[in-house]
Chains A and B, each alone.
Chain A
Amino acid sequence: MENLIAYAPLLWKGTQVTIALALVGLALATLLGALGAAGKIGGGPIARGVVFLYTTIVRGIPDLVLILLIYFGGQRIVNAIAGALDIGYVDVSKFWSGALAIGFIYGAYLTETFRGAYMTIPRGQIEAARALGLKRSAILWKVTLPQLVRFAISGYANVWQVLIKSTAVVSVISLQDLLGLANDAGKSVREPFTFFAAVFVIYLLFTFISQNIFNWAERRFTIKGRNDAA
């Protein structure tokens, strides 16, 4: 226990890396999910085909496999380019490899979430908006998006809960995140259980806190008595 207290600042540093990784990953995933959903809903046959391939392939591959592929494969590709340009050896960032992989994976899940939420919006509303002469952009901002947020929020919360747990496997490419640092510290003081138990509790706190935030958000965004469409 004294060891755990002595290492608390280090674990706090790791916690910050993990939180940053999760948030950057979520931002990337949201962007890709929005693009994917837009492509699936309004795109032509080529866009739809690309999105279909993206979501199908990504959802068939485990997170760790994709992280290793992006990190080691990325290292090779970047250095092949660097070699051709005579720049010298380039070190690919572990953090960004992890964030990219997480964003890429959960973007595929969010594509389905956003598309599903869009499908829940009654067609009549969009037809009515068009009949009133609203421009495409006005329909998007005033009719579609506000409701999309409402319908997508519970699915979005689910994806986030899975995503945050995925950050742990990025420690496998020896990123100095919460689990990575705890692993090193626990081994050096020969108290692995104590340190992994601390990581366990911190992750439990992550999920607990985010669940409460999303519960609040869901209450905030749903209209009372109008939940039938969700």
Chain B
Amino acid sequence: MMQLDKIVNNLDLFLGGAWMTVQLTAIALFIGFCIALPCGLARARRVPIISPLINAYVYAFRGTPLLVQLYLVYYGLAQFDIVKDSFAWPVLREAYWCALITFSLNSGAYATEIIRGAVATTPDGEIEAATALGLSRWQVDFLVLIPSALRRALPQYGNEVVFMLHGSVVASVITLQDILGVGRTLNARFYMAYEGILTAAVFYMVLTFALVMLFRWLENKYLKHLALAH
């Protein structure tokens, strides 16, 4: 009953889909992180004016579904002639760029909250010790505070990475050929009910477990000193 040959013969399509998924997720996570580091620090320090603005951004993106955000960017922006006539239109009409922009902003919001939390819970003693050693404010930030906060943010950030990988499936809804996109295309082409999607599920599962293992290894490496303290 299962049409395995259709899957096996098109495995190269799935590998291409996997590359698309990994690429979208990785780039979005990277840009998201670049947004989140300054934003998280500013939030933790309650910088006036900037901090409430960042808070609004984080609240809006964490409080709504990723698919709605993606629709707003991909289908929504075309409503405005200013956007259509602008220099950015060649980018904004491409599904790929819309997905990348939306995912980056989304991941940036979640990561901001994670980094804010990690910075806020930095033991005062660490900062005091660094100051007492005569480090300047910048040195304290970049040599002590940020490395320490990022280490402690690792477990939660690992969750965010898996969350982003899983969230990236909505790219297939706007026609992108990621893992699920390939599965749905094959289903439609060969009139299959579930084989393509089941194969996609296996691909996602393998990627998820690889990420979980990676983060377990990273935590072992960078959080050993905290595990001993307990």
Contacts and interface: CB of A to CB of B under 8 A. Distances in A.
Given A64-B180, A69-B194, A197-B72, A207 B208 contact: no
Interface in A151-207: 165-169, 171-172, 179, 183, 186-187, 190-194, 196-197, 199-200, 203-204, 207
Contacts of A199: 68, 71
Given A168-B68, A193-B72, A194-B79, A61 B193 contact: no
B169 A192 contact: no
Given A62-B169, A172-B173, 6 more contacts: A61-B201, A72-B194, A168-B66, A203-B68, A204-B63, A208-B63
Interface class of chain B by DSSP: helix
A59 B208 CA distance: 9
Contacts of A167: 65
B76 A62 contact: no
What are the 8 tightest A-B residue pairs by CB atom distance, in nearest-first order? A168-B65, A193-B76, A60-B205, A76-B193, A73-B194, A62-B166, A207-B63, A193-B79
Contacts of B172: 64
Contacts, number: 115
Q: Name the residue in A60, A73, A165, A169 with the highest tally of chain B Cβ atoms < 10 Å from its Cβ.
A: A60
B76 A165 contact: no
Interface string A59-82: 111111110110011011000000
Interface of B: 59-60, 62-69, 71-72, 75-80, 165-170, 172-173, 180, 183-184, 187, 193-194, 197-198, 200-201, 204-205, 208-209
27 contacts: A60-B205, A61-B201, A62-B167, A62-B168, A62-B169, A63-B166, A65-B204, A66-B201, A68-B184, A68-B197, A69-B201, A73-B193, A165-B65, A165-B66, A167-B65, A169-B170, A172-B173, A179-B71, A190-B79, A191-B79, A193-B80, A196-B68, A196-B72, A197-B76, A199-B68, A200-B69, A200-B72
Contacts of B183: 65
Nearest to B76: A193
Interface residues of A, number: 39
A165 B60 CA distance: 12
A187 B74 CA distance: 13
A57 interface: yes
A179 B72 CA distance: 11
Contact of B180 (A57, A65, A179): A65
Nearest to B166: A62
A186 B197 CA distance: 29
Contact of A62 (B60, B180, B184): B180
A204 B205 contact: no
B26 to A, nearest CB: 16
